[in-house]
A and B are shown apart, each in its own frame.
Chain A
């Protein structure tokens, strides 16, 4: 008690002498180097954060393993669905295609690196290009994060928002709900693309686009004449099914990329936290020793004065 009083006096005298420019909100225990209590509080909170990020990494790793397993058949399925458009080389006629559709696939949850911002950036570029060329563009947001990124600046292009993506692994039913809402919205698009993050490996993913064509474009495409015995009804059913399949592929790829990105992000967060803990522990020890030394000096100089 008496020693802390002495400390206060000495600290005040030190600071008063050292600089008049430094603004001191309160004299006393405030000094440039934090007190033991501040460091302890900070150390405890960073240790808690490290525990949280470590456990989030484990959860993401488990989810990633499952997502990657389920991605294999989904990829075969999705590429099968797109095979027709590739082999028949269906392309929308550039001049006539005035209405475009962009479907951005992300999720609701953050802490996964640049997943959402990558898709949002691609969508923003596409909107800029297409509106610059005088085309009409509408956007479907799959995932709440994308809505948050786009609605302020491109709110008038947003047609549809989908929530509750990312909590559970995506199913074919989810894709079909999205496709149904899209088709029921009444927006007669000529051409579109689905923008998602394609999974490449545990540490890398890439933002990719897959095309979506309207029934008219497919029916009028030159190579469609090769295909025998197709009437409008069959083609429409086929197109709707293909749309669901592509959305399903995008959802699966996006989910796998997201889990792997979250795993990486949480891993680096844990590492950063460890580094901070190490540095703070050293600072803590130094501060502790400095405090003890000062107290000793007090006592000794006090005793010497007697």
Chain B
């Protein structure tokens, strides 16, 4: 009986004492939206990981990634879905947003699954662009040619 009274008095004390942090209650799901102006690839889907190529480098996004905004560069986006399979897409440019609630919006100006790209055509375009670069002097035209070179190089690298 004394023990019980002792417990009753001390129970309030325990409430103000530090306690362990809560375990991650069911890891926050990533609500992944991946779309181009003409096609939607994923809409608020739950995936495991997404690798994106950005202007500041490539990085992978998992659920509970720190919020960030990034701009994409021509390259390959890899989506790892919950069952372990991965699909690759080539994106030309665009933006990626990771929000606080773990939702990710990947908006690409143009995006195609990798198997729809032809490596021979890409190589031919790359050579043509490199030849053009030597020929142009106008700033804007030079910029366009350089964009073309960068995109074609990325395609060729992705397909090899």
Contacts and interface: CB of A to CB of B under 8 A. Distances in A.
Given A70-B38, A87-B103, A76 B68 contact: no
Interface stretch (B22-30, B83-91, B94-102, B123-131): B94-102
Contact of A77 (B36, B70, B71, B101): B36
Contacts, number: 81
A241 B99 contact: no
Given A73-B39, A87-B100, A248-B37, A81 B71 contact: no
Instruction: With a 10 A CB-CB cut-off, give which of B35, B55, B56 has the most chain A CB atoms.
Output: B35
Contacts of B36: 73, 77
A245 interface: yes
Given A77-B40, A84-B105, A230 B68 contact: yes
A215 to B, nearest CB: 12
A265 interface: no
Contact of B105 (A83, A228, A234): A83
A238 B69 contact: yes
B99 A84 contact: yes
Main secondary structure of the interface of A (DSSP, over half): helix
Contacts of A13: none
Contacts of B70: 234, 238
Nearest to A175: B37
B35 A226 contact: no
The bracket for how many chain A residues form the interface is 20 to 34
Contacts of B56: 229, 234
Contacts of A88: 99
Given A73-B35, A76-B33, A238 B40 contact: no
Interface string A234-247: 11011001100100
A51 interface: no
Contact of A83 (B39, B71, B97): B97
Nearest to A176: B109
Contacts of A73: 35-40
Contacts of B94: 241
Nearest to B70: A234
A76 to B, nearest CB: 5
Given A77-B36, A80-B105, A227 B43 contact: no
A-B CB proximity, top 7 nearest: A80-B105, A172-B37, A237-B71, A77-B35, A73-B40, A87-B99, A228-B66
